Amino acid sequence: MPAPPPPLNCPPGLEYLSQIDMILIHQQIELLEVLFSFESSNVYEIKNSFGQRIYFAAEDTNFCIRNCCGRSRPFTLRITDNVGREVITLERPLRCNCCCCPCCLQEIEIQAPPGVPVGYVTQNWHPCLTKFTIKNQKREDVLKISGPCIMCSCIAGVDFEITSLDEQIVVGRISKHWSGFLREAFTDADNFGIQFPRDLDVKMKAVMIGACFLIDYMFFERTR
């Protein structure tokens, strides 16, 4: 995707997000992971609705962390543009991944450019449903994310609604897409779509990308 003119006060590299209202995230299949059943670093292509690649994302973790901590693992995810410039960095600390432990819930920090936080996604405790809050760089609540009780993508997709703080207005959606029986059964290479208003602040669009990756690791990363 050719880079559009950057809007005012746009972090470098986020101009790609300024004129789109949908993002597709495709995780690449790792052959060694399928054959030998050990967890390798996740890599993704991030595309616009026309299938044009705008970013490439790669997990930066070591072998022990990936295979000992599984889906709960802390990670750094580096997102680069088409010329290899790192434009977004995602940092997930090690937290408890059990809904019975509300004192240390999941969180991810979104930086754009790297080293400059633009927002956070924090898990909210709920006994049944999946709940998150999208926060700005000052940790002020901006939006909510609500998901289903049961995370099952074995038949169809799974939707997570992005809503206003009172949860009355739906402003977007993160969707886990069905990838076909073989891909779903034998790999953890997932496909996601993110929908948001075209005129939404590019920083919040970047935070929604971070939310999508947190959801992927929490609920759709296979345990080995």
The residue behind tokens 């709920």 is 126
Which of the two residues, 42 and 222, has the higher pLDDT score?
42
Predicted confidence (pLDDT) at residue 3 exceeds the cutoff of 50? yes
Predicted confidence (pLDDT) at residue 109 exceeds the cutoff of 70? yes
Closest CA to 118 of 4, 13, 1: 13
In a domain, 168, yes or no: no
Closest CA to 203 of 123, 135, 122, 141: 135
Query: Given this model, what pLDDT does residue 35 score?
Result: 61
Mean predicted confidence (pLDDT) in 184-199: 76
Q: Residue 93: which domain range?
A: 15-118+176-220
- Number of structural domains found in the chain: 1
Which of the two residues, 34 and 86, has the higher pLDDT score?
86
Mean predicted confidence (pLDDT) in 45-66: 91
Query: Given this model, what pLDDT does residue 221 score?
Result: 80
| E runs forming strands in the chain | 22-27, 43-47, 53-60, 75-80, 86-92, 107-111, 117-124, 130-136, 141-147, 158-163, 170-177, 191-195
Which of the two residues, 160 and 4, has the higher pLDDT score?
160
In a domain, 10, yes or no: no
In a domain, 74, yes or no: yes
Query: Given this model, what pLDDT does residue 98 score?
Result: 61
For the chain, what is the mean pLDDT? 86
In a domain, 150, yes or no: no
Predicted confidence (pLDDT) at residue 151 exceeds the cutoff of 70? no
In a domain, 77, yes or no: yes
In a domain, 63, yes or no: yes
pLDDT band at 187 (very low <50, low <70, confident <90, very high): very low
pLDDT digits (tens, 9 = 90+) for 117-129: 999 999 998 878 8
In a domain, 114, yes or no: yes
The residue behind tokens 């891909």 is 183
Query: Given this model, what pLDDT does residue 186 score?
Result: 43
Whether residue 88 contacts residue 206, with contact meaning beta carbons closer than 8 Å, is answered with yes
